[in-house]
């Protein structure tokens, strides 16, 4: 007898271990366990999404003729961990071998390897870039540029290619994309589903067991099976993809989703595959319904960024999430968990995160991520926050984005310079500043935007590391042109602000 372990983010029929398994003789093991639901204080909507999707996937496998043993969180004999459940099922079925799609996370790979059973790992073939291909590409390169990797992937898959040339004559349409926020960007919400009986039962469980976690279960509207996720994809293609490019970096206080797809959780759980999403988007362009700039911008996120961060996570090895190249050690301020703050941008993003378990990329990178970078918050604490609060947060994708992209804590493996920005960026790309206590145009004085003060403070305290970075030389020149008196004042005000932050004062 052989067990086939299917994890909560491996809900894809016919992929990985399931493609190699035998439904006539193998037993599929799936388990809701306390260890996975508590290794960080996950947002209740995230827990509900995983558990509901797992239950429905197990039911779909059974309908398809598989023998599935499924542990529910409340089962009396549930051992509480994935390895515990595998051992229990191995004893129950006298199984000595386990087949599993290689877990995305190092933590689980290591835990499964340590089992006293023969565990066979099957490559996760849902990704478009096999690990070997990424390693071969990375080998011998001094810097690992997304743009180079992305072109390789366009060529490998043929997506948006016209022979050897990129469709539309350019690899990248960023110059036409990424427009600032305008009120007329306002539009209808993304795809939403009412809870059915399975979801209602899970919501009840999560409400009972995880009520103390940050985040609300109210308004849970995620799709929880493949057909729902397919409907969400169709909704995005019809209503939002045509506008994706120009709005992808914009932020609006009145609109939490803009034209983003809100498909990341479905991709990460396996309800959709990256290949099918990219192909469907390309078909919209081929049919003349979507401009090249929008479809290219969207496909780059999945074929480029998503595959690239996964390659980096694998290459970097198990210690990646503990990196702290800038030596930052400040505790995470309470406003990340919903305590009040005067900073309107941060308050908006945190409140939206609490309500939806979702924020789009620029909110994560340039508001909460940028603040943590500038203020010198300990990367491990920031990592734990991101891993907790977003429905799409699994470590292989979260850690490179947080540790590498937002915090530069990997010392520059992923980004060639920190994504540090003053309030001017947020003012240009959003309308948050209009409703803020602080003045985004002031860099000193009692109401100066904290992002402005902290930006210069960040540059000053890391001068020896960044002043010679060719992409930052101009920035240091601009800072050095500011008069000495004002520079001293800005640094002193930033330090006073950081002292307030540390003491938990209302900032």
Enumerate residues 6+ apart whose C-beta is below 8 A from 12: 18, 126, 270, 271, 273
Residue 333 per-residue DSSP state: P
Residue 31 interacts, among ligand SF4, ligand DLZ, ligand FAD, none and using kind-specific CB cut-offs from 5 to 8 Å, with ligand DLZ
Both structure tokens of 159: 């997506």
Both structure tokens of 457: 């403070």
* Residue 296: CB minimum distance to ligand FAD, A: 12
* Residue 228: CB minimum distance to ligand SF4, A: 35
Comparing C-alpha atoms, which of 455, 340, 287, 315 is closest to residue 399?
315
Compose the 84-123 pattern: x for residues touching ligand DLZ by CB under 6 A, - for all others. -------------------xxx--x---------------
Enumerate residues 6+ apart whose C-beta is below 8 A from 439: 445, 447, 448, 449
Q: Which phi and psi (to 5°) does residue 29 adopt?
A: -110, 125
Comparing C-alpha atoms, which of 80, 104, 110, 83 is closest to residue 29?
83
Enumerate residues 6+ apart whose C-beta is below 8 A from 201: none
The single residue among 3, 344, 362, 413 that binds ligand SF4, judged by CB under 6 A, is: 344
Nearer to ligand FAD, 309 or 448 (CB): 309
- Around Cβ 441, how many Cβ atoms within 10 Å? 12
* Residue 336: CB minimum distance to ligand SF4, A: 15
The single residue among 52, 303, 309, 449 that binds ligand SF4, judged by CB under 6 A, is: 449
What residues from 389 to 428 belong to the interface with ligand SF4 (CB under 6 A)? 423, 426-427
- Please tell me whether residue 103 binds ligand SF4 under the rule CB under 6 A: no
Quote the CA–CA distance of 295 and 240 in Å, as a whole number.
11
* Residue 51: CB minimum distance to ligand DLZ, A: 6
What residues from 12 to 41 belong to the interface with ligand DLZ (CB under 6 A)? 31-33, 36-37
Query: Can you tell me which residue has the tokens 């945190």?
Result: 350
- Please tell me whether residue 384 binds ligand DLZ under the rule CB under 6 A: no
Quote the CA–CA distance of 270 and 277 in Å, as a whole number.
12
- Please tell me whether residue 373 binds ligand SF4 under the rule CB under 6 A: no
Residue 454 interacts, among ligand SF4, ligand DLZ, ligand FAD, none and using kind-specific CB cut-offs from 5 to 8 Å, with none
Quote the CA–CA distance of 149 and 134 in Å, as a whole number.
8
Compose the 166-205 pattern: x for residues touching ligand DLZ by CB under 6 A, - for all others. ----------------------------------------
* Residue 31: CB minimum distance to ligand SF4, A: 43
Are β-strands 165-166 and 161-162 bridged in parallel, bridged antiparallel, or unpaired? antiparallel
Comparing C-alpha atoms, which of 66, 78, 73, 90 is closest to residue 2?
90
- Please tell me whether residue 350 binds ligand SF4 under the rule CB under 6 A: no
Enumerate residues 6+ apart whose C-beta is below 8 A from 391: 43, 45, 46, 49, 222, 265, 357, 358
Beta bridge partners of 118: 97
* Residue 258: CB minimum distance to ligand DLZ, A: 26
Both structure tokens of 146: 């997304």
Distance (Å) of CA 291 to CA 167, 258, 286: 11, 17, 9
* Residue 353: CB minimum distance to ligand FAD, A: 11
Residue 494 interacts, among ligand FAD, ligand SF4, ligand DLZ, none and using kind-specific CB cut-offs from 5 to 8 Å, with none
The single residue among 394, 406, 407, 472 that binds ligand DLZ, judged by CB under 6 A, is: 394
Size of the site for ligand SF4 (CB under 6 A): 14
Residue 438 interacts, among ligand SF4, ligand DLZ, ligand FAD, none and using kind-specific CB cut-offs from 5 to 8 Å, with ligand SF4
- Please tell me whether residue 7 binds ligand DLZ under the rule CB under 6 A: yes
Comparing C-alpha atoms, which of 256, 266, 262 is closest to residue 191?
262
Looking from the CA of 493 toward its CB, the CA atoms found within 13 Å total 22
Nearer to ligand DLZ, 37 or 264 (CB): 37
- Please tell me whether residue 429 binds ligand SF4 under the rule CB under 6 A: no
The single residue among 15, 343, 349, 405 that binds ligand SF4, judged by CB under 6 A, is: 343
Distance (Å) of CA 270 to CA 105, 121, 464: 15, 17, 44
The single residue among 3, 4, 9, 456 that binds ligand DLZ, judged by CB under 6 A, is: 9
Residue 37 interacts, among ligand DLZ, ligand SF4, ligand FAD, none and using kind-specific CB cut-offs from 5 to 8 Å, with ligand DLZ
Interface residue list for ligand FAD (CB under 6 A): 260-264, 267-268, 298, 301-302, 305-306, 309, 360-361, 364-365, 369, 386, 390, 392-393, 397-398, 401-402, 405-406
Looking from the CA of 244 toward its CB, the CA atoms found within 13 Å total 30
Nearer to ligand DLZ, 105 or 384 (CB): 105
Which positions lie near ligand SF4, rule CB under 6 A?
343-345, 423, 426-427, 432-433, 436, 438, 440, 449-451
């Amino acid at each position: 007898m052989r067990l086939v372990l299917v994890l909560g983010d491996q809900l894809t029929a016919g992929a990985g271990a399931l493609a190699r398994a035998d439904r006539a003789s193998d037993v599929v093991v799936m388990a809701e366990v306390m260890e996975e639901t508590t290794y960080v204080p996950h947002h209740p909507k995230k827990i509900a999404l995983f558990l509901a999707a797992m239950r429905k996937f197990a039911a779909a496998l059974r309908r398809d003729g598989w023998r599935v043993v499924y542990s529910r969180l409340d089962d009396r004999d549930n051992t509480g961990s994935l390895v515990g459940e595998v051992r229990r099922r191995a004893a129950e079925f006298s199984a000595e071998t386990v087949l599993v799609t290689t877990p995305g996370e190092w933590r689980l790979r290591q835990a499964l390897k340590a089992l006293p059973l023969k565990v066979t790992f099957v490559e996760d073939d849902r990704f478009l870039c096999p690990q070997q291909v990424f390693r071969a590409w990375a080998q011998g390169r001094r810097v690992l540029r997304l743009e180079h990797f992305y072109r390789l992937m366009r060529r490998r898959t043929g997506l948006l290619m016209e022979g050897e040339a990129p469709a539309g004559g350019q690899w990248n349409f960023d110059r036409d994309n990424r427009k600032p926020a305008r009120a007329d960007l306002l539009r209808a919400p993304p795809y939403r589903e009412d809870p059915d009986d399975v979801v209602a039962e899970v919501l009840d469980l999560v409400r009972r067991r995880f009520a103390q976690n940050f985040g609300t279960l109210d308004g849970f509207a995620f799709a929880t099976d493949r057909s729902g996720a397919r409907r969400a994809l169709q909704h995005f293609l019809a209503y939002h993809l045509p506008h994706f490019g120009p709005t992808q970096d914009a932020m609006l206080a009145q609109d939490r989703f803009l034209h983003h797809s809100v498909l990341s959780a479905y991709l990460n759980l396996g309800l959709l595959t990256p290949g099918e999403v990219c192909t469907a988007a390309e078909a919209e362009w081929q049919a003349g319904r979507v401009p090249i700039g929008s479809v290219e911008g969207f496909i780059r996120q999945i074929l480029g960024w998503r595959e690239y961060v996964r390659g980096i996570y694998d290459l970097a090895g198990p210690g990646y999430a503990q990196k702290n190249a800038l030596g930052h050690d400040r505790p995470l301020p309470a406003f990340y968990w919903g305590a009040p703050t005067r900073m309107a941008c941060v308050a908006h993003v945190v409140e939206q995160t609490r309500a939806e378990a979702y924020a789009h990329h620029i909110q994560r990178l340039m508001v909460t991520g940028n603040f943590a970078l500038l203020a010198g918050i300990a990367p491990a604490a920031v990592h734990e926050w991101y891993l907790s609060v977003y429905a799409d947060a699994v470590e292989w994708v979260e850690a490179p984005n947080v540790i590498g992209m937002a915090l530069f804590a990997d010392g520059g493996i992923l980004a060639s310079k920190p994504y540090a920005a003053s309030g001017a960026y947020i003012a240009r790309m959003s309308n948050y500043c209009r409703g803020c206590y602080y003045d985004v145009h002031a860099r000193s004085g009692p109401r100066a935007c904290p992002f402005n003060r902290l930006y210069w403070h960040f540059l000053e305290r890391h001068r020896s590391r960044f002043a010679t970075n060719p992409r930052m030389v101009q920035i240091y020149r601009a800072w050095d042109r500011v008069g000495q008196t004002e520079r001293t004042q800005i640094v002193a005000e930033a330090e006073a602000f950081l002292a307030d932050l540390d003491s938990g004062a209302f900032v």
